[in-house]
Amino acid sequence: MENIQQIDRVALEFGPITIYWYGIIIAFGIILGWFLATRELKKLGLPKDIFSDLLIWAIPISIVSARLYYVLFKWEYYLQNPGKIFAIWEGGIAIHGALIGGVITAIIFAKKRGISFWQLADIAAPSIILGQAIGRWGNFMNQEAHGAAVTRLFLENLNLPEFIINQMYINGVYYHPTFLYESTWNIAGFIFLIIIRKLNPRRGGLFLSYLIWYSIGRFFIEGLRTDSLMLTESLRIAQLLSLILIGIALLLLWFRHKKGDSIIRYTE
């Protein structure tokens, strides 16, 4: 086995308490997303505590829904190992599950607050995709969500930093850094959404554009991964859901555009 320096997935240990880089990175993504969304609220003259209040509910609900989504599609395993259902520290959450839980929570929250869900979602969209871009580095630390085996030369030819190449060396094999592909795609998506926002899209357009952008990238990158949740032996759940989300988003964009001037623009 090669003598390669790798990053320990454990960031800090205090007696029985272990803090993982994964949790730190996810928390950083959430905080940065909250900061950007709150700043946008202020620019629009909306109450600055909206996302603080929303996250109190959205974070735990999204974690639970992300876990339920994963368990549902791994039900045969968890039926035989029911004690593992709550062992979230062993891994096993899905971003699509978190997204579903977060959207449902936001819809209910917006209705109770008397706020337009579409406006709330538009403001949050750049923060969501930036948070996803950051979150994928948590997968990097855990050496998970990678693609098929490749050679070190392949990774070197991508001009990747040494620390990424080394971390992609798992149990004697180098792997596709699919976490990096998705993170890069999402950063590009963040820039894309910021540009669209400056063009004053109609309400809902920014969030629906996010769904389309993210789903396109996820569809292709998912095809490279080796740990996909499978609906059948040949059908990956994330790819199917990505296609469904693209279709729904395009239909909603068409429908909202058809309503014309009755739709309030994002910046109003």
- Using a pLDDT cut of 90, give the percent of the chain over it: 71
Q: Helix or strand or coil: residue 268?
A: coil
Give the whole-angstrom CA distance, residue 132 versus residue 33: 10
pLDDT in tens, 178-221: 999 999 999 999 999 999 998 878 889 999 999 999 999 999 99
Least confident of 13-17, 31-35, 88-92, 237-241: 88-92
pLDDT of residue 267 exceeding 50, the answer is no
Give the whole-angstrom CA distance, residue 74 versus residue 113: 37
pLDDT in tens, 133-158: 999 999 999 999 999 999 999 999 99
The larger pLDDT score, comparing residue 237 to residue 2, is at 237
pLDDT of residue 263: 39
pLDDT of residue 37 exceeding 50, the answer is yes
Q: What would the two tokens of residue 268 be?
A: 């109003």
Give the whole-angstrom CA distance, residue 249 versus residue 208: 5
pLDDT of residue 166: 96
pLDDT in tens, 60-86: 999 999 999 988 888 888 888 888 888
Domain residue ranges of the chain, discontinuous segments joined by +: 10-262
Q: Helix or strand or coil: residue 109?
A: helix
Scored b (16 or more CB within 10 A) or e, 67-87 reads bbbbbebbeeebeeeeeebee
The larger pLDDT score, comparing residue 110 to residue 73, is at 110
pLDDT of residue 264 exceeding 70, the answer is no
Max Cα separation, the chain? 65
- Using a pLDDT cut of 70, give the percent of the chain over it: 94
Q: Is 258 exposed, middle or buried (0-12, 13-18, 19+ CB in 10 A)?
A: exposed
8 Å CB contact between 178 and 147: yes
